[in-house]
Amino acid sequence: MFRPRFLLTGLALVLGACSPQDPQAQTSAALAEQVLLPAYSRWADADRALSSSAIAFCSGQEDLEKARAAFFTAQKAWAELQPLLIGPLAENNTAWQVQFYPDKKNLVARQVEQLLKTNSQIDKSTLDKASVVVQGLTAYEYILFDSNIELANAEQKARYCPLLMAIGEHQQTLAQTILAKWKETDGMLAQLSKFPNQRYADAQEAIADLLRVQVTALDSLKKKLGVPLGRQSKGIPQPFQAEAWRSESSLLSIAASLAGAQALWNGVEGRGLRTLLPSEQKPLAERIDSAYADSKARLDELQQQSLQYWLAEPTGIAKLNAFYDSLNTVHRLHESELAKALGIQLGFNANDGD
Amino acid sequence: MPFSSLLHGLRRLGRWTLGPGQNEPLLLSARDDVEGRHYAVGYRLDGSQVFMTPVPQRCHAIVTHPVEPLAVFVARRPGTQSYLIDLRSGRLVQTLDSPRYRHFYGHGVFHGTGEWFYATENDTSDPGRGLLSCYRFDGSQLVREGELSTHGLGPHEVVWMPDGETFVIANGGIRTEAESRVEMNLDAMEPSLVLMHRNGELISKEILDLQMNSIRHLAIAEDGTVLACQQYMGGSLDPAALLGIKRPGQAFEAFPVAEAQRQAMAQYTASVAVHSTLRLVALTAPRGNRFFIWDLDSGGLRLDAPLPDCAGVGAVEDGFVVTSGQGRCRHYDCRQEKIAMRPLELPAGLWDNHLLLHA
């Protein structure tokens, strides 16, 4: 016996999977256009400014304070991008060129000094061939902030400046190359907007990929806080294992990454992952909202001082641990409950292969 | 519109098939459901399910009997049960329980006569000591009759050379204890690629440069070329060769993978497959979320594609089929210079790292 009603429903489903009415395709496209692409553009802008700043600082047209401000902007733009690390920048370990972290063995300081010892004339082409350890923001930060480097001394400034300018240029070129790959025909923006394509068989895969990078970044945030807090070293704080410890901008970076993760959740004008939850999942959506709010409130208070300040005394450590727990709640809600509610399997073999 | 036309349209539109596609090869794999329950599954490539048999322990690789419509779904380490399944119905014919101080490592082979089944195992009384258990097929059941040494630690995949009498064994080199996946000897790993006669006699034992480079999975071309893929247990920046090749009569060496692809693997590979007719080698790297195809002879890169949590890979007539732990399964038609990808109408995600395509 034929069941025309069932068939029509089936047909609608098949057609629906390809049409713009598909909520997953809509959300993916909206996030790509309104959240991801703008964040990549801000990063490219910040790196362009970083490169100009290095040149201005080295030619004496800009003071150290301004040079450091340009670094903070670039570091923040990069941190915000980490939960959005999907596509070209996430591939071929390209992201290592942006920042070398964690740096357990202080490789950045050692390799920068080694490079300067063996190359008196460093430019972008020398740097392009050098290790990722010296190509990125961590090396840039080392030059501008390390206590052993005295940039007020003209001789020292002349020694480090060629590398500073080369890193600025390397970052600018890298960011522009990546941004171009987002915008090109059939590039990343298109691949998140029209399905199927060579990357995604359907919109569900794109949403899964977005959730995957968001969850990975939330997990990394826990490590970025947990390692200096000593959660992996018997409770003994490790302040020099923090991200961006030299510039004391660890909390600034964490705040930017958390904001990036929340942007995927909320979207612009409510067109984020949150909108994909069916109405019966409203309680879960509200729990995720309040988990972000709780985490952010704790971080706002912590940001009145540096991470190093809080690590130095027991009340500070207690506050950091409470913040860690709030981040853990955000992470777990995404990793388990949100993934399940959206029907997404995260890293079945990648995390537990054989 | 007549019903048949609508049906035909639907079929073409979504590649849905309402009846079993008997001409398609049978894709065999271990798979989970979202609740974490384990299954031995068989699907035609058109998406029709032949069976989905619940099994207590998670399985890894599948070994088909050369004559009977049977396959062993081998327990993933440190599993202690493998399952003999009837491929026509999915009926569980027999559960193989490991004896005391033994567990499976996820792989095995049937001898060409169908009389013997061999599986890699761990001797947990001397953790990591590699064994090949020998089971005799008595016409309906597998009976454990003995063991051979794999001449190495922590064996993983075992395959036949084309002669069907010489084992190729990937000894992963890692010691693990019973009921554990935790590595005990990262500072003293001993990975090796072993060629061994069916009577257990060692023919050759080779290693790659890096001691922490665990040789895990294998594929053999019809000409006897051995491909091995590795998982590197050391630092994320170390230059570990994750694909190795042993051409007939030559030493085991790194396959010429360019730095961009090597780095993209994130020190971890899952499955390797060879297409003997098209002379291609395919590799999945689930941590890097990349799928690769190279020309077997020239080493030239044919494909470097994103594929989230890509898992099992196997050769079909015109190319390769790949499963994923996270996304849709894909078919890659490799007959033309430009490789064409097509998503398959199989269930998405939760596929284990290996598949077998049974014609």
Rounded Cα distance between A16 and B183, Å, is 48
pTM of the model: 0.85
Q: Taking CB atoms and an 8 Å cutoff, what residues of chain A touch B216?
A: 354
Chain B, window 169-208: residues with a beta carbon less than 8 angstroms from a chain A beta carbon:
none
Q: Give me the sign of the Cα torsion angle A194, A198, A203, A206.
A: negative
pLDDT per residue as tens digits for the range A263-279: 999 999 999 999 999 99
Question: Looking at this protein, which amino acid is placed at residue A267?
Answer: G
Which of A133, A163, A167 lies closest to A51, judged by CA? Answer: A167
Give yes or no for residue A16 having a pLDDT over 50.
no
pLDDT per residue as tens digits for the range B178-194: 888 889 999 999 999 99
Q: What is the DSSP string of A107-169?
A: HHHHHHHHHHHH-SS--HHHHHHS-GGGTSHHHHHHHHH-TT--TTSHHHHHHHHHHHHHHHH
pLDDT per residue as tens digits for the range B92-143: 999 999 999 999 999 999 999 999 999 999 999 999 999 999 999 999 999 9
Which of A251, A224, A238, A227 lies closest to A306, judged by CA? Answer: A251
User: What's residue A20's pLDDT?
Assistant: 52
Rounded Cα distance between B314 and B273, Å, is 6
SS3 call for B321: strand
Indicate yes or no: CB of A345 within 8 angstroms of CB of B325. Answer: yes
Indicate yes or no: CB of A354 within 8 angstroms of CB of B353. Answer: yes
For residue B8, name the pLDDT band (cuts at 50, 70, 90): very low
Helical H segments across B179-307, by residue range: 259-264
Closest CA–CA distance from residue B138 to any residue of chain A (Å): 31
The answer to whether the bond into B20 is cis (omega within 30° of 0) is no
Closest CA–CA distance from residue A200 to any residue of chain B (Å): 8
Q: Give me the sign of the Cα torsion angle A139, A145, A146, A150.
A: positive
Chain B, window 223-282: residues with a beta carbon less than 8 angstroms from a chain A beta carbon:
231, 237, 260, 263-264, 266, 268, 270
pLDDT per residue as tens digits for the range B192-209: 999 999 999 999 999 988
B291 φ, ψ (degrees, to nearest 5) = -120, 135
Closest CA–CA distance from residue B175 to any residue of chain A (Å): 14
Mean pLDDT of A61-78: 98
Give yes or no for residue A119 having a pLDDT over 90.
no
User: What's residue A234's pLDDT?
Assistant: 87
For residue B10, name the pLDDT band (cuts at 50, 70, 90): very low
Indicate yes or no: CB of B327 within 8 angstroms of CB of A201. Answer: yes
Cα separations (Å) of B353 from A144, A258, A350, B46, B311?
47, 33, 9, 20, 4
pLDDT per residue as tens digits for the range B286-318: 999 999 999 999 999 999 999 999 999 999 999
Closest CA–CA distance from residue B15 to any residue of chain A (Å): 10
For residue B34, name the pLDDT band (cuts at 50, 70, 90): confident
Q: Taking CB atoms and an 8 Å cutoff, what residues of chain A touch B353?
A: 349, 353-354
Closest CA–CA distance from residue B299 to any residue of chain A (Å): 19
Q: Does A152 touch chain B (CB under 8 A)?
A: no
Instruction: Tell me if B262 sits within 8 A of B246, measured CB to CB.
Output: no
Q: Does B58 touch chain A (CB under 8 A)?
A: no
Query: Angle A64-81/A250-266 helices, nearest 10 degrees?
Result: 40
User: What's residue A350's pLDDT?
Assistant: 66
Give yes or no for residue A219 having a pLDDT over 70.
yes
Rounded Cα distance between B262 and B212, Å, is 16
Closest CA–CA distance from residue B354 to any residue of chain A (Å): 10
Indicate yes or no: CB of B326 within 8 angstroms of CB of A196. Answer: no
Query: In this structure, what DSSP letter does residue B71 have?
Result: E
Q: Taking CB atoms and an 8 Å cutoff, what residues of chain A touch B290?
A: 91
Give yes or no for residue A7 having a pLDDT over 80.
no
For residue B359, name the pLDDT band (cuts at 50, 70, 90): confident
Q: Does B47 touch chain A (CB under 8 A)?
A: no
- The complex's ipTM? 0.78
Q: Does A354 touch chain B (CB under 8 A)?
A: yes
Token pair listed for A84: 């959005």
pLDDT per residue as tens digits for the range B54-89: 999 999 999 999 999 999 999 999 999 999 999 999
Give yes or no for residue B12 having a pLDDT over 60.
no
Other Cβ atoms less than 10 A from the Cβ of B68: the count is 16
Rounded Cα distance between B148 and B201, Å, is 9
Among the listed ranges A14-18, A41-45, B106-110, which one has the minimum average pLDDT value? A14-18
Around B211, how many Cα atoms within 13 Å sit in the side-chain half-sphere? 6
Mean pLDDT of A120-132: 92
Other Cβ atoms less than 10 A from the Cβ of B57: the count is 18
Indicate yes or no: CB of B290 within 8 angstroms of CB of A91. Answer: yes
pLDDT per residue as tens digits for the range B281-292: 999 999 999 999
Q: Does A199 touch chain B (CB under 8 A)?
A: yes
Instruction: Tell me if A311 sits within 8 A of A239, measured CB to CB.
Output: yes
Q: Taking CB atoms and an 8 Å cutoff, what residues of chain B touch A197?
A: none
Rounded Cα distance between A4 and B6, Å, is 10
Mean pLDDT of A1-24: 50
Q: Which of A11, A202, A350 sits opposite B328 (nearest CB)?
A: A202
Indicate yes or no: CB of B308 within 8 angstroms of CB of A348. Answer: no
Closest CA–CA distance from residue B55 to any residue of chain A (Å): 18
Q: Taking CB atoms and an 8 Å cutoff, what residues of chain B touch A212?
A: 308, 326
Mean pLDDT of A173-183: 98
Q: Does A91 touch chain B (CB under 8 A)?
A: yes
Question: Looking at this protein, which amino acid is placed at residue B308?
Answer: P
Give yes or no for residue A352 having a pLDDT over 80.
no
Give yes or no for residue B18 having a pLDDT over 50.
no
State the CATH class of domain B24-258+343-358.
mainly beta
Other Cβ atoms less than 10 A from the Cβ of B308: the count is 25
User: What's residue A170's pLDDT?
Assistant: 98
SS3 call for B68: coil
Instruction: Tell me if B274 sits within 8 A of B294, measured CB to CB.
Output: no
Q: Does A205 touch chain B (CB under 8 A)?
A: yes
Token pair listed for B25: 């090869």
CB pairs under 8 A between A and B: 98
Instruction: Tell me if B273 sits within 8 A of B320, measured CB to CB.
Output: yes
SS3 call for B7: helix
Instruction: Tell me if B255 sits within 8 A of B281, measured CB to CB.
Output: yes
For residue A230, name the pLDDT band (cuts at 50, 70, 90): very high
Indicate yes or no: CB of B309 within 8 angstroms of CB of A348. Answer: yes
Token pair listed for A244: 């961006």
Mutate to test the interface with A, among B107, B237, B272, B291 (most CBs of A within 10 A): B237
Q: Taking CB atoms and an 8 Å cutoff, what residues of chain A touch B321?
A: none
Rounded Cα distance between A43 and A37, Å, is 10
Instruction: Tell me if A249 sits within 8 A of A140, measured CB to CB.
Output: no
User: What's residue A349's pLDDT?
Assistant: 72
SS3 call for B72: strand
Indicate yes or no: CB of A344 within 8 angstroms of CB of B32. Answer: no
